């Protein structure tokens, strides 16, 4: 653990920290001196993450379903104990895409798909953010004059839709809810010295995005839609953004949305033409 790291003497809880962006972020936090607890639903993945992260510093795994209020209460109680009674950073990464549950375009999305995605994404953020702010309100100010920082995971699809390849209405709505929650909380808790920020990635090469990253048409689309990489971003791209917003040096930043998209929001992307009726089988 580097004594002079960017997160030295800080503690962090990463929800969804056993794979993808959460794992990459936990790694960067540890490399910069933080004490970290990662949480996820799958103990096997949690152990794999611990095996990878343990050489870097103080890290523990706790199993929890972040959409379950009782699980979240138990998680925060255990995490605070492991972290010595103080939580400086909550980074909520966990979420689902929802296609397998019935999410899709509005006219095709099912009730079950909507409920599953809103529970796993928006409800879970509400529960963990509420638990975090309750803990942080009870904390003393740190050496930067803060009680804590919360970072949530948004998506460019909340404000920059791409319906041909990414037409999942419940997912977009859930990320829009997270965006609104984060801004409202930033306004409410700034006087209490608690920061709330958001990162909004485009397509990142994670296990959740396997369907998209392995689809030839989508890969071709990304060459112009995410021109900075000519394809999907990496979890490390998001981890660096997360570190920048969570480290103590960001003490004057709250209510911000950092777009990590390789150019998605400023690029049209080249789609093949829609087939004409006479070309359809």
Residue-wise pLDDT tens digits, 7-65: 999 999 999 999 999 999 999 999 999 999 999 999 999 999 999 999 999 999 999 99
Q: 41-54 b/e with 16+ CB inside 10 Å = b? A: beeebbeebeeebe
**Percentage of residues in the chain with pLDDT exceeding 90?**
88
pLDDT beyond 60 at 211:
yes
> Looking at the predicted structure, is the pLDDT value of residue 5 above 60?
yes
Neighbours of 75 (CB within 10 A): 23
At 278 the pLDDT is 60
Q: How many CA atoms lie within 13 A of 240 on its CB side?
A: 7
Residues forming beta bridges with residue 196, ordered by sequence position: 150
Give the domain ranges of the chain: 11-205+234-263
Asked if pLDDT for residue 185 goes beyond 70, the answer is yes
Give the Cα separation of 24 and 38 in Å (integer).
Answer: 11
Q: Which CATH class is domain 11-205+234-263?
A: alpha beta
Task: Tell me the mean pLDDT in the region 126-148.
Answer: 98
Distance CA 143, CA 146 (A): 7
Q: Is the pLDDT of residue 276 over 70?
A: no
Low-confidence winner among 136-145, 149-158, 160-169, 180-189 (lowest mean pLDDT): 160-169
Residue 53: both structure tokens together = 């992260």
The pLDDT of 149-172, averaged and rounded, is 96
Q: What is the pLDDT of residue 277?
A: 59
pLDDT at residue 127 in the model? 98
What region, left, alpha or beta, does residue 251 occupy, with left being phi > 0 and alpha being psi -120 to 50 degrees?
alpha
Distances (CA, A) of 188 to 3, 193, 200, 281: 34, 10, 21, 56
11/4 Cα distance (integer angstroms): 15
Only one residue has tokens 């599953």, namely 116
For residue 268, what pLDDT is reported? Answer: 86
Q: Give the 3-state secondary structure of residue 13.
A: strand
Q: Is 171 labeled as catalytic in the residue annotation?
A: yes
Strand 59-63 to strand 148-153: parallel, antiparallel, or no bridges (unpaired)?
unpaired
The per-residue pLDDT of the chain, averaged, comes to 94
Selecting among 76, 171, 189, 264, the annotated active-site residue is 171
């Amino acid at each position: 653990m580097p004594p002079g790291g960017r997160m030295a003497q800080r503690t962090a809880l990463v929800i969804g920290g056993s794979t993808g962006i959460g794992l990459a972020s936990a790694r960067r936090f540890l490399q910069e001196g933080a004490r970290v607890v990662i949480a996820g639903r799958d103990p096997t993945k949690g152990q794999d993450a611990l095996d990878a992260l343990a050489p870097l510093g103080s890290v523990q795994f706790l199993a929890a379903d972040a959409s379950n209020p009782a699980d979240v209460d138990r998680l925060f109680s255990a995490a605070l104990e492991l972290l010595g009674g103080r939580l400086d950073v909550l980074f909520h990464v966990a979420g689902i895409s929802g296609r397998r549950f019935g999410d899709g375009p509005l006219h095709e999305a099912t009730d079950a798909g909507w409920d599953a995605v809103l529970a796993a994404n928006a409800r879970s953020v509400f529960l963990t953010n509420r638990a975090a702010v309750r803990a942080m309100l009870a904390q003393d100010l740190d050496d930067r004059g803060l009680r804590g920082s919360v970072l949530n995971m948004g998506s460019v699809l909340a404000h920059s839709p791409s319906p041909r390849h990414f037409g999942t209405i419940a997912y977009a709505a859930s990320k829009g809810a997270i965006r609104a929650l984060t801004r409202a909380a930033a306004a409410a808790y700034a006087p209490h010295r608690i920061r709330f920020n958001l990162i909004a990635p485009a397509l990142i090469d994670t296990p959740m995005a396997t369907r998209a990253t392995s689809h030839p048409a989508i890969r071709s689309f990304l060459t112009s839609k995410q021109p900075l990489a000519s394809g999907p971003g990496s979890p490390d791209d998001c981890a660096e953004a997360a570190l920048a917003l969570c480290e103590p040096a960001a003490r004057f930043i709250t209510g911000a949305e950092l777009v990590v998209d390789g150019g998605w929001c400023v690029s049209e992307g080249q789609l093949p033409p829609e087939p004409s009726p006479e070309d359809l089988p």
